[in-house]
Amino acid sequence: MNEMRVVTGDKSGRETTEWWRGAVIYQIYPRSFRDSNADGIGDLRGIAEGLDYIASLGVDGIWISPFFTSPMKDFGYDVSDYCGIDPSYGTFEDFDRIIERAHALGLKVIIDQVYSHTSDEHVWFKESRTDRTNAKADWYVWADPKSDGSPPSNWQSVFGGSAWQWDGPRKQYYLHNFLTSQPDLNVHNPHVQEAVLDVMRFWLDRGVDGFRLDALNFSMHDPQLRDNPPSGAPMTEVTRPFDMQIKQYNQSHADIPAFLERLRGVLNEYDGRFTVAEVGGPDPLAEMKAFTEGGKRLDSAYNFDFLYAPDLTAARVRASLNQWDGTPEEGWPSWAFSNHDAPRAVSRWSSVDDYGQVARLSLLLLLSLRGNPIIYQGEELGLPQGHVAFEDLLDPEAIANWPHTLGRDGARTPMPWAANAPQAGFSCANRTWLKVDSDHAPLAIDQQIKDPQSMISYTRHLLAQRQAMPALVAGTSELLDTPDEIVAFVRSSPEGDVLCAFNLADHSVGWSPPSAFTDAKIVANERETGSGEGIATTMPRRSGYWATTNGG
């Protein structure tokens, strides 16, 4: 039996009526969502056309991955103009239409911001590399070689090889934590900070409701350029040299929170805005809490606890929940099981025979957790990882590490809108940027939307059920004493309590809930919602439920 740990809600007495607290966010990867002009690439107009569908699910907002001007070597995460829209995605008129329509439907709009690096085609970098005395000479991370000509430090790139690239015009190395075409900004420089804060103001003035901050802990480096220590991980257990170091000096600098306070000052000039940070790494908790502390920095953060997890276990869920205890000054967590960077959860956590059950169970769990659930496009369809042949791969990381990782392309294949239409209704083009997976067509929106037993219908019912129970939206959370295979917790609010219980094992497990729930009725499980049955003393394999004595 595991030890009971009490996890309470916000004890600080601060107002908890912010729209984002407990909001469900739907992530859109625009390149793969919907193509409106038959060029094989999803676009902003396609997003606008799909907003009614998204709103019908019952989510509270959308997060749109980058659509800014870019050479697309990393498909938009290499920005060449923060205040421009890439022509492949559309125009400002198209973006304004998204804002207008989303707000009319009651949806908030969050967009990505990438402040750790730009494209090497950004005008800032083009000026910075010309010489060592220009006005932007210190806007990027430049360093002389060691006396033997080797790079300034041993830092490794996420995508493989040294994180330093020699540049002829400057006769120096520049830092790139990702692709060589993604030079790192020197966010220690106050002029760089002012520039990115002006970018924020630009988009806030256009009506966005907040930002998701990409790779935030890469935004500042150790100015002394000290070598990272080894992690001790042998090459036989990792796929890239990056994982063989403890990232002590090339990321997670202690000055990042002070920059976030400047960022928060800009956000406070506008009402009701929301910020959530992506925080990667093997031990992200301290950074997540520092980045969200006390309402003076960001509102929320999420990590990769589940995004790359090879399995879904009660111990994994329990460990994640125990990290957030609701103490005063603590921030608010967000949760994602799938996204554009990670293989889809159902493919990681189940076999083909279990896809449907695990898709429902995962969503039930995600919507139970105290925090903001983020649903990645296609999760509401139960989409598994798309199959992408090696010759069709576009993701530089997948190509470099083939065949040892699933890569990112399989999570980015186009959305299936109509089962029997060309390209599954995603596009009228003869060829799409990534091929549509034919196995996804039977799961298309037009097939599921008319089936009351489909994953879409389940998603709609579950989101409506959650919205009707304040305890699940923003209530406190108390972990219960359970067998090791089960994770159970009580979400509580003044309006009522909800018992959330999950058996994540491959066999049935006996467990009786607390006496307060003896007469409780199940309002949702992995099969349906609103079943109204009583709680059994044995939980079947891979099952879960929400139960309440008073309707939540």
What burial class does residue 302 get, using C-beta atoms within 10 Å of its C-beta: 0-12 exposed, 13-18 middle, 19+ buried?
A: buried
User: CA angle, 459 as apex, 454 and 462 as ends, to 5°?
Assistant: 125
* Distance between CA atoms of residues 42 and 39, nearest Å: 8
User: DSSP characters for 481-546?
Assistant: ---TTEEEEEEEETTEEEEEEEE-SSS-EE----GGGTT-EEEEESS-B---PBPPSEEPTTEEEE
Tell me the β-bridge partners of 510. Answer: 538
Contact in structure between 191 and 258 (CB atoms under 8 Å): no
- Whose structure tokens read 């998701």? 212
Q: Are 525 and 471 in contact (CB under 8 A)?
A: no
Quote the DSSP letter at residue 375: E
The yes-or-no answer on residue 269 being catalytic is yes
Backbone φ and ψ of 404, nearest 5°: -80, -15
- The residue annotated as part of the active site, out of 269, 283, 311, 519, is 269
| CB environment 519-545: b (16+ within 10 A), e (fewer) | ebbbbbbbbbbeeeeebeeebeebbbb
Q: Which helix (H) or strand (E) element contains residue 98?
A: helix 92-104
Q: Are 242 and 261 in contact, with CB atoms under 8 Å apart?
A: no
Structure tokens that stand for 233 in this block: 């991980």
The Cα angle at residue 200 between residues 71 and 111, in degrees rounded to 5: 60
What are the backbone angles phi and psi of residue 108, rounded to the nearest 5°?
-85, 155
Which one from 214, 287, 380, 478 is the annotated catalytic residue? 214
65 DSSP 8-state letter: P
| DSSP of 260-272 | HHHHHHHHTTSSS
Q: Show which residues are catalytic.
A: 214, 269
